[in-house]
Structure 1
């Protein structure tokens, strides 16, 4: 039995014989011009890539239905989508014989996000892609309190190797930062490293190892890195130094092979094992073009702003895989690059904002020059840059030679240009879009070209004669054309043209060989054009912003200790159509307003306000102008965020636990020069627990232990009292809203919103919640709104009474009350101390029962009347407590 796509019973048997595969692997089967994917893979491709599950076909056999789908082989975007956007591995099988028997298939291609070498030919046409394919290798060494991280990363395309060693906490915050900075797609780990059981770790390991393994798994999930477990033996330091001497560029800038291999970082055995795993996994030594072509760099996390994955997502620095609107990310707003290499460099800058104020100002100086020089900016942006191809990807198969500076590159390219002009027939390209060697380049070609021209002239004459005979306009009504299959449509033989092509083939091969010698200057030129493209693009973004132009930020010394933005705007928000952005001032200063609590209604702009501060700070430190009237800030060492949270359901991690893990990383990593953004901390648990956590976290960040710049948006209005406990450190801000009070006067408000958001931030405390107003705007039924209002009023009064009671009968109050000191008898004193908590609990329970009865029977419109009735009903309960506890009557009556 066979389907229309060649799915046979033999193939089904082969498919079942394959070993089980991970869910993160796609298996494709070559069938002529198509790939077929089967079972769960077919459904996945239809749902995630084709966005149409109805395209899935079915092979029916013996009462079973087997889904499959076909994808054109020419559609290389399909492969790039799953490799680089969805982080899947790809396996491609082909028939093992020319007959293509369906029970004889072999694995032809195996690729992963960090190893695309086997798909180079298929992905070569994707020259506009901005994704990189960094592969990492990780090894950990545990100490009593910390973790020593050994890390190496490699990008085959740019021929870069980065490695380093650093100490981290068990939360691995520095490792997460490294993954974000390096844009790692895949990470190699030795078998057992991710085991969350003690059996999975080596002898001598402690229970802390399993905790680190759990944190490591969560980090991989948060940053979107595909984990590949390899044999422990692959992490071997044997012969790695010798391999590096073979791979490293002997003429690299600021380094020699000997110096590189003797570096203290490389001498670390842990780093060497990571390098060994990468060299083996990518099989770098098998490709001769890799010899003396890689550069080696040292990882220094302090050179760049530490950005965790939560901050990258919260600030929308980079586009998500499902973003349709270009301006939903900062990258989309700033990306005016004309070249693919420029776009890749902009992504790198957004992942790696600078911390060195000198380097930041260097970039700002260059951007400012393009902002001021309109003619140069427009010439580069409108014309010159768009004509430059992706030189890195066009030359990635050539062996690198010695690099050189820009002037030397120009001198080298003069000879290269002369070679092109002397060998390629440029007139043929313009006239017939045909790429051929010049006829005068070689005597034999000249003779063939003369004969070919004579034949073409005869064809032209015949064409004109036919046009006159048929009374048609040549070139319009009747045309003379040719193609590779038919030659000229007058059916002229292709024999002479074939002889010409055979003669030029050897010359073309020689031209390519000579051109490969210019790979290094081409790559140097690629780096220069990428830098130029990004700087011009940032200048274009600054001058073309809607409304006001961006301004140059002023980078202050860290001793200044402040962040001040005047009339700051969120760059993504102001690019959206039909949205009028309200600008706000920002002032954070050490010793004055370093921690700010923002209260206000939902949809009022709290989240946008705090995010805009982080976005503008990141833009400033990549060297961009910013959307403000004026801006000054110290160079931040970290931008961290706790904004929203999502379940990690595959690992059984709840939203609240994910929130606490992110918060823990923030508390451990923040310094006095960090910016922390927190939005609605504590929502995932009870009100009391959530408020307690919010208060404690805020106190820690604002206190002298950390003292970092912080913006804390919250609906816990009680948290605003922290400003009284920590004056000079904590300040309160509120988001303004206008409430429609016409309904209170009996007016018709059916066409008017009950609350209007003003999106203006000013000092102060929001004195009410707007939850019911928002619910009314959302269209909840009136009876539901009225019921909610009544319940809210009753609960607010109950909470007020309960909080006062809880305060007055707390153990601390009892112990500190002067009335207690009336009892000098040691026995009585001992009895009072031991029964203090019991007394308080009895008193609370008795009054709570009275409250519940009264709340069910009495209208709360008259609070004084309610309090009077409550007082009478509790007098007998208090009298009983006086007799049974031994407390002085005046104390109990006063409470």
Structure 2
């Protein structure tokens, strides 16, 4: 269920917030309350020295969420002020946990040196400002992000088509990489489009969020939802924001966008501006996804097929996990994007296949490319952090190393003759790097780099003469400090005398408390007492103070010079940001192509034919996820054929067979083969020809939605209705056990009618698995319906599931055998067997019962007559019990009666 938040600090201007109550507050607490009032729906990380502190309700919330100690600090309004805090150095770890729980965090930093505040007066408070708002869809830090998953912010706009219909614009932005895409979908497609993007956060207007017709869509998404005031999302303002972002006077150069797409893009840029404050991320020019460019897959089908996540939300066990052989983070994200949106453009699919085929045919080339790619850092995210002013020296080094790898890959690919078009394009893009930028970064950055630039010491020696000079002064001063310590120790006779440094006192002389003033008696005229500790005394001297000034000046100068070098390097990187982003994309595309090729060779997958026909012919197809699981156990997967091909209409295959026979696996594997074929991958089959699929529908498995009051059967019917209402001639439909959630005749009637509708109205390619064996009679009436079953063998009373799909119908369901294998008590299985025999006998003996395949409609079925009362059977044990009077028996007679009952039981 979605986490919906009002986000007043983002949606409304600060002036709209009520004035906070500052009566009786200390200056520091008054500052906190004022900043918190401007950010009411964020947890406020308030910087105090080396900690981010939280107070009041924020402290209580964070304490529960993070499992940290809740303390208190002073009073306000007559009550204790709750407080908790996290170290600045570990703030990212705590932020990631809060963001994962759906919280927003306002990061409030000290923007003034404490010494400056003291000069304004003893009660002056250090200036602090919120420098950014951290939300699920706008994070950029590596430690907060999943390297293999895009971190999308999705904005949604709407335009009216008629009195009853609307079109919805979607703006998908990943500020961690700069990706920016626009698309427009119908109301029926909205839920599936949101599911395809899999956003972390959704931004929309308050009116759109409150629309009751869309309530179910918002309930189904897992993303955090942020409604914004309608007044701030006017079309004219939206277009202006786009022009300002890219510094253009018109959007015509970007292509034709609908009003809904422009509204969505404007909402996304507004939200990014509000959360990033003064920083502006280097977003790519928005690209428009044409309608129908990707295979339409609704949210239920994505969940059923477990394309990128399992039903429990895990990556492990999904199709993505089974096929991912990428070696870069950027490549892993692109593969997930391809899997979420398979292509429908036959030429684009063919280009991807040609690249995969070439790399699969040449193991040496593929191995070299993959080894080189594995050295490529995530330059897309490093570039984004640079544009936002959050980069560190390691980000610049990542861009340097990534461009270096790109140059090597471009040279290697460029040396290959007759490259397919897709690989030739990548070779040309990878060869066009800025060699001067790479050399500058290599010359400027040291071998060992700190995480943050404020830590300094990241400029290579010899790059900047002034830095080298200042560093030399600092190093000489350290030698002087060591010499001064040795001299003081000799003059005082105190071998444990040390000269130390901290942020509060600066440099100071420290001696043990046991030595104290006695040791320094002859030097007291030169020493000034600073501090007495429990086990030590601290002093300073004129000589030490003068030396500290020199050291401090040199250190500050080095840091300032290094900061200037960093800004210069970052500026050079951003000047070539567009080319670097294109290089990052080329690296990702090459990684994905090489991944597909590695997978095809490793698992013996074959190149499918994808054309514009209505074919669907798979020879010896296999389920990629199940096969991988069986391989780990040392077992083989049983391959099966599937042919749903048709000239003008698709065929339907009706599959019967026992539970555990493999029906659901067979259904899913063919759907997954279609998906793999249309992302440009090879497929797990000996041969495959797939006519382009425009929509994929899957209704497999049972689930309920109790939060919305939907039973398992209701969910089944809702999803089936969506399929029957939307499937086209080019669609592929996978249906399993339709009608099983209700009474037998009700379910049978619904399944019958659904089959007829798929055959006559939708005319699509479909696999339909059922336990209603009566439906197999439809094979004689529906021209394009074929019967198939899963083979089963019996050996010495045991059932063996062969997992082989063959033409025909199942003779029986083997439900009792499955129940016994599942561990039902033997008495329950035996009793079920007896009941089954009775029911089958009654069904066989009932005179005049018409055959189901003789009926035009199930509505013609009359209610079956009640079965005749069975003849009472002789009950020997009952007769014995009736003859016993327990109150009249002696202990000996009772024992004898028990033995008689036992013998009667044995004889029965």
TM-score by length of 2: 0.68
The structure-2 alpha-carbon separation of the partners of 1:457 and 1:89, relative to structure 1 and needing over 3 Å to count, comes to closer
- Measured in 1, the distance between the counterparts of 2:472 and 2:781 equals 96
**Structure 1 equivalent of residue 890 of structure 2:** none
Count of matched residue positions in the alignment of Structure 1 and Structure 2:
719
1:690 to 724, 747, 754: 747
- Measured in 2, the distance between the counterparts of 1:306 and 1:45 equals 44
- Measured in 2, the distance between the counterparts of 1:512 and 1:616 equals 45
- Measured in 2, the distance between the counterparts of 1:238 and 1:417 equals 42
- Measured in 1, the distance between the counterparts of 2:449 and 2:280 equals 37
**Structure 2 equivalent of residue 523 of structure 1:** 581
**Contact 1:220–1:226 under 8 Å retained in 2:** no
List aligned pairs for 1:280-299, cutoff 5 A. 280-283=270-273, 290=280, 293-299=283-289
**Structure 2 equivalent of residue 138 of structure 1:** 157
CA deviation vs aligned residue, 1:318-363 (integer Å, no higher than 9, x gap): 034856673x111112222221111111111001111111111100
**Residue 342 of structure 2 corresponds to residue 353 of structure 1:** yes
List aligned pairs for 1:270-281, cutoff 5 A. 270-281=260-271
- Measured in 2, the distance between the counterparts of 1:19 and 1:421 equals 44
**Contact 1:38–1:69 under 8 Å retained in 2:** no
- Measured in 2, the distance between the counterparts of 1:811 and 1:333 equals 47
**Residue 771 of structure 2 corresponds to residue 756 of structure 1:** no
The structure-2 alpha-carbon separation of the partners of 1:217 and 1:450, relative to structure 1 and needing over 3 Å to count, comes to closer
**Contact 1:149–1:175 under 8 Å retained in 2:** yes
CA deviation vs aligned residue, 1:40-92 (integer Å, no higher than 9, x gap): 9989998xx99xxxx687899xxxxx999987762635544664x66x24245
**Contact 1:672–1:707 under 8 Å retained in 2:** yes
**Residue 136 of structure 2 corresponds to residue 113 of structure 1:** yes
**Residue 695 of structure 2 corresponds to residue 624 of structure 1:** no
1:567 to 620, 645, 663: 620
SS at match of 1:653: coil
SS at match of 1:224: coil
**Contact 1:223–1:309 under 8 Å retained in 2:** no
**Structure 2 equivalent of residue 818 of structure 1:** none
Q: CA deviation at 1:774?
A: 1.1
After TM superposition, the structure 1 stretch with the greater mean CA deviation from structure 2, 636-645 or 181-190, is: 181-190
Q: CA deviation at 1:557?
A: 3.0
**Structure 2 equivalent of residue 596 of structure 1:** 653
**Structure 1 equivalent of residue 92 of structure 2:** 76
The structure-2 alpha-carbon separation of the partners of 1:594 and 1:348, relative to structure 1 and needing over 3 Å to count, comes to same
SS at match of 1:609: helix
**Structure 2 equivalent of residue 386 of structure 1:** 374
- Measured in 2, the distance between the counterparts of 1:565 and 1:80 equals 45
- Measured in 1, the distance between the counterparts of 2:312 and 2:55 equals 23
- Measured in 2, the distance between the counterparts of 1:339 and 1:187 equals 27
**Structure 2 equivalent of residue 182 of structure 1:** 197
2:717 to 655, 660, 668: 660
List aligned pairs for 1:25-44, cutoff 5 A. 33=51
The structure-2 alpha-carbon separation of the partners of 1:775 and 1:803, relative to structure 1 and needing over 3 Å to count, comes to farther
SS at match of 1:627: coil
The structure-2 alpha-carbon separation of the partners of 1:544 and 1:67, relative to structure 1 and needing over 3 Å to count, comes to farther
SS at match of 1:301: coil
Q: CA deviation at 1:684?
A: 1.7
2:436 to 415, 426, 432: 415
**Structure 2 equivalent of residue 726 of structure 1:** 782
**Structure 1 equivalent of residue 601 of structure 2:** 543
**Structure 1 equivalent of residue 813 of structure 2:** 769
The structure-2 alpha-carbon separation of the partners of 1:259 and 1:660, relative to structure 1 and needing over 3 Å to count, comes to same
**Structure 2 equivalent of residue 307 of structure 1:** 297
Structure 1 unmatched runs, 5+: 1-9, 61-65, 196-200, 202-209, 251-255, 461-482, 743-753, 816-836, 860-895
Q: CA deviation at 1:261?
A: 7.4
**Contact 1:152–1:271 under 8 Å retained in 2:** yes
**Residue 421 of structure 2 corresponds to residue 377 of structure 1:** no
**Contact 1:134–1:155 under 8 Å retained in 2:** yes
After TM superposition, the structure 1 stretch with the greater mean CA deviation from structure 2, 759-768 or 90-99, is: 90-99
The structure-2 alpha-carbon separation of the partners of 1:696 and 1:34, relative to structure 1 and needing over 3 Å to count, comes to farther
The structure-2 alpha-carbon separation of the partners of 1:320 and 1:593, relative to structure 1 and needing over 3 Å to count, comes to closer
Q: CA deviation at 1:529?
A: 0.6
**Contact 1:285–1:291 under 8 Å retained in 2:** no
After TM superposition, the structure 1 stretch with the greater mean CA deviation from structure 2, 280-289 or 652-661, is: 280-289
The structure-2 alpha-carbon separation of the partners of 1:610 and 1:29, relative to structure 1 and needing over 3 Å to count, comes to farther
After TM superposition, the structure 1 stretch with the greater mean CA deviation from structure 2, 602-611 or 570-579, is: 570-579
Q: CA deviation at 1:274?
A: 3.4
Q: CA deviation at 1:766?
A: 0.7
- Measured in 1, the distance between the counterparts of 2:480 and 2:85 equals 49
TM-score by length of 1: 0.69
- Measured in 2, the distance between the counterparts of 1:582 and 1:544 equals 18
- Measured in 2, the distance between the counterparts of 1:693 and 1:347 equals 37
- Measured in 1, the distance between the counterparts of 2:58 and 2:844 equals 57
SS at match of 2:605: coil
The structure-2 alpha-carbon separation of the partners of 1:29 and 1:796, relative to structure 1 and needing over 3 Å to count, comes to farther
The structure-2 alpha-carbon separation of the partners of 1:261 and 1:803, relative to structure 1 and needing over 3 Å to count, comes to farther
- Measured in 2, the distance between the counterparts of 1:322 and 1:92 equals 31
SS at match of 2:671: helix
The structure-2 alpha-carbon separation of the partners of 1:335 and 1:663, relative to structure 1 and needing over 3 Å to count, comes to same
- Measured in 2, the distance between the counterparts of 1:760 and 1:71 equals 59
1:678 to 735, 751, 764: 735
The structure-2 alpha-carbon separation of the partners of 1:163 and 1:602, relative to structure 1 and needing over 3 Å to count, comes to same
The structure-2 alpha-carbon separation of the partners of 1:858 and 1:148, relative to structure 1 and needing over 3 Å to count, comes to farther
2:824 to 764, 775, 780: 780
**Structure 1 equivalent of residue 667 of structure 2:** 610
Q: CA deviation at 1:393?
A: 0.9
Q: CA deviation at 1:517?
A: 2.0
RMSD (Å) for aligned C-alpha atoms: 5.0
1:220 to 214, 218, 221: 218
SS at match of 1:137: strand
- Measured in 1, the distance between the counterparts of 2:660 and 2:560 equals 71
**Structure 2 equivalent of residue 513 of structure 1:** 571
**Structure 1 equivalent of residue 839 of structure 2:** 795
**Structure 1 equivalent of residue 384 of structure 2:** 396
CA deviation vs aligned residue, 1:827-863 (integer Å, no higher than 9, x gap): xxxxxxxxxx9xx98xx79x53xx3x4246489xxxx
The structure-2 alpha-carbon separation of the partners of 1:765 and 1:812, relative to structure 1 and needing over 3 Å to count, comes to closer
**Structure 1 equivalent of residue 354 of structure 2:** 365
**Contact 2:622–2:684 under 8 Å retained in 1:** yes
- Measured in 2, the distance between the counterparts of 1:223 and 1:803 equals 54
**Contact 1:127–1:393 under 8 Å retained in 2:** no
SS at match of 2:747: helix
- Measured in 2, the distance between the counterparts of 1:106 and 1:59 equals 24
**Structure 2 equivalent of residue 337 of structure 1:** 326
The structure-2 alpha-carbon separation of the partners of 1:589 and 1:503, relative to structure 1 and needing over 3 Å to count, comes to closer
Structure 2 unmatched runs, 5+: 1-28, 73-80, 115-121, 389-402, 404-424, 483-500, 508-543, 875-908
SS at match of 1:163: strand
- Measured in 1, the distance between the counterparts of 2:780 and 2:275 equals 66
Q: CA deviation at 1:315?
A: 1.7
CA deviation vs aligned residue, 1:365-410 (integer Å, no higher than 9, x gap): 101111111112112223x11211111111114459xx99975875
Q: CA deviation at 1:164?
A: 4.2
CA deviation vs aligned residue, 1:744-772 (integer Å, no higher than 9, x gap): xxxxxxxxxx3121111111111111111
SS at match of 2:692: coil
Q: CA deviation at 1:802?
A: 6.4
- Measured in 1, the distance between the counterparts of 2:342 and 2:370 equals 24
Q: CA deviation at 1:605?
A: 0.8
**Contact 2:107–2:134 under 8 Å retained in 1:** no
**Residue 206 of structure 2 corresponds to residue 149 of structure 1:** no
- Measured in 1, the distance between the counterparts of 2:746 and 2:40 equals 44
The structure-2 alpha-carbon separation of the partners of 1:667 and 1:725, relative to structure 1 and needing over 3 Å to count, comes to same
Q: CA deviation at 1:20?
A: 14
